[in-house]
């Protein structure tokens, strides 16, 4: 089922929670609404589900306007952050609840519940009460309860946020594999960048009730549309540029300290103004060869993080972060190093 959201706006009293949101989600896609707390992502999800009625805009499913339809007439299923299982019912009965409300015959109901429990790897555990299940197993029951009704659209409201880190990682992989196998169109709400990137085909980054950018995880990380997106989806060095100019067909920026930095080719369009140069820590390198951007720095701190070492560097009044694979045994705190980056590995954005 494809989803089209057009000009969605929702107010709560004088507060505008969502303003002018447009979304297009093709059938079978895994789409994520990503953003900080209070940005409007859950309000959008609940407007799609029919829990909230928008003040303006439309929700269209497979070409049919369902904006004013009640929840039960939308063929959607919603999985909440807190599982929302009935504590007095077994796992089997929790999963069967939606089918019973739809008056599905008993024999078919049993078959479909057993299939759903097997789908989430809980076959044989249907007799247990929620209190007898682990957090991850409870979340799978909630997922099975949503899938057993065979929804055209699956809505996930931060379903993994209450789990410990290791279990969360495991369930992400399982959830993505399950969604691909079933081909059900899925909308996820999360503030977790890693979760959004691991699970999603496309991601919408929200800020203050509006969408800053929609794209694949790679597009958001490599070519963020705004400074906010750049900083939200991953660690980034942000260097203020007081002036951007072109010389011999290339773009150059001047920092507050007077440093001249080569900018990516598309920054030529920003010549004559100011902006921010954004470069990821993993794109900085020691002894960068013939790259145009090279700076003398002092190593202020080293933090070993397993697969990589995080380095804090000082260049005059400027602080930079560099990520080096492995233990970075050749670097020491206080050492003077020459660092740099390739101009093509950076982006320049206005102050947004």
Give 223-256 pLDDT, tens digit per residue: 999 999 999 999 999 999 999 999 988 999 999 9
**Cβ atoms of 345 and 280 closer than 8 Å:** yes
For residues 52-63, give the mean pLDDT. 96
* Exposed / middle / buried, residue 280 (Cβ in 10 Å: 0-12, 13-18, 19+): buried
How far is the C-alpha of 330 from the C-alpha of 328, rounded, in Å? 5
Position 337 scores a pLDDT of 95
Q: With 80 as the cut, is the pLDDT of residue 320 above it?
A: yes
Position 328 scores a pLDDT of 87
pLDDT digits (tens, 9 = 90+) for 179-219: 998 899 999 999 999 999 999 999 999 999 999 999 999 99
How far is the C-alpha of 324 from the C-alpha of 182, rounded, in Å? 39
The residues, any chain, with a CB within 8 Å of residue 127's CB and separated by 6 or more, are: 90, 91, 92
For residues 148-153, give the mean pLDDT. 92
Tokens at 102, concatenated: 């739809």
Torsion of CA 129, 135, 137, 142, to 10 degrees: 80
Could you tell me where the beta strands, DSSP code E, fall in 47-130? 56-61, 64-65, 76-79
For residues 268-280, give the mean pLDDT. 95
Q: With 80 as the cut, is the pLDDT of residue 289 above it?
A: no
pLDDT digits (tens, 9 = 90+) for 126-147: 999 999 999 889 988 999 999 9
pLDDT digits (tens, 9 = 90+) for 78-122: 998 777 899 999 999 999 999 998 999 999 999 999 999 998 889
Position 104 scores a pLDDT of 94
Provide the β-strand partners of residue 255.
Answer: 241
Could you tell me where the beta strands, DSSP code E, fall in the chain? 3-12, 15-25, 30-34, 56-61, 64-65, 76-79, 153-157, 185-190, 202-207, 210-215, 237-247, 250-255, 260-262, 275-279, 285-286, 293-304, 308-315, 318-325, 336-341, 346-349
pLDDT digits (tens, 9 = 90+) for 293-317: 999 999 999 999 999 999 999 999 9
């Amino acid at each position: 089922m494809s989803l089209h959201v057009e000009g969605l706006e929702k107010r709560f009293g004088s507060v505008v929670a969502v303003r002018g949101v447009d979304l297009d989600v093709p059938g079978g896609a895994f789409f994520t609404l990503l953003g900080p707390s209070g940005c409007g992502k859950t309000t959008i999800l609940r407007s799609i589900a029919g829990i909230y009625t928008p003040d303006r805009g439309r929700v269209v499913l497979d070409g049919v306007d369902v904006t004013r339809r009640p929840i039960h007439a939308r063929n959607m299923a919603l999985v909440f952050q807190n599982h929302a299982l009935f504590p007095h019912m077994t796992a089997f009965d929790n999963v069967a609840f939606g089918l019973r409300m739809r008056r599905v015959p008993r024999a078919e109901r049993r078959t479909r519940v057993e299939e759903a429990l097997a789908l989430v790897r809980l076959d044989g555990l249907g007799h247990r009460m929620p209190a007898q299940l682990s957090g991850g197993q409870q979340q799978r029951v909630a997922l099975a309860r949503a899938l057993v009704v065979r929804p055209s659209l699956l809505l996930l409201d931060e379903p993994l946020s209450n789990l410990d880190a290791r279990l969360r990682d495991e369930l992400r992989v399982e959830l993505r594999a399950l969604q691909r196998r079933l081909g059900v169109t899925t909308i996820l709400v999360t503030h977790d960048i890693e979760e959004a990137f691991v699970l999603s085909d496309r991601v919408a980054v929200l800020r203050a009730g509006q969408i800053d950018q929609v794209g694949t995880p790679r597009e958001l990380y490599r070519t963020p549309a705004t400074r906010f997106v750049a900083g939200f989806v991953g660690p980034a060095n942000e260097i203020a540029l007081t002036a951007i100019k072109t010389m011999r067909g290339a773009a150059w920026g001047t920092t507050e300290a007077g440093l001249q930095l080569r900018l990516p080719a598309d920054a030529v369009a920003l010549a004559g103004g100011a902006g921010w140069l954004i470069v990821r820590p993993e794109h900085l390198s020691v002894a960068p060869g013939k790259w145009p951007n090279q700076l003398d720095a002092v190593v202020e701190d080293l933090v070993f993080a397993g697969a990589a070492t995080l380095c804090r560097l000082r260049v005059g009044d400027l602080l930079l972060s560099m990520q080096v694979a492995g233990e970075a045994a050749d670097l020491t705190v206080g050492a003077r190093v020459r660092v740099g980056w390739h101009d093509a590995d950076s982006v320049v954005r206005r102050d947004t």
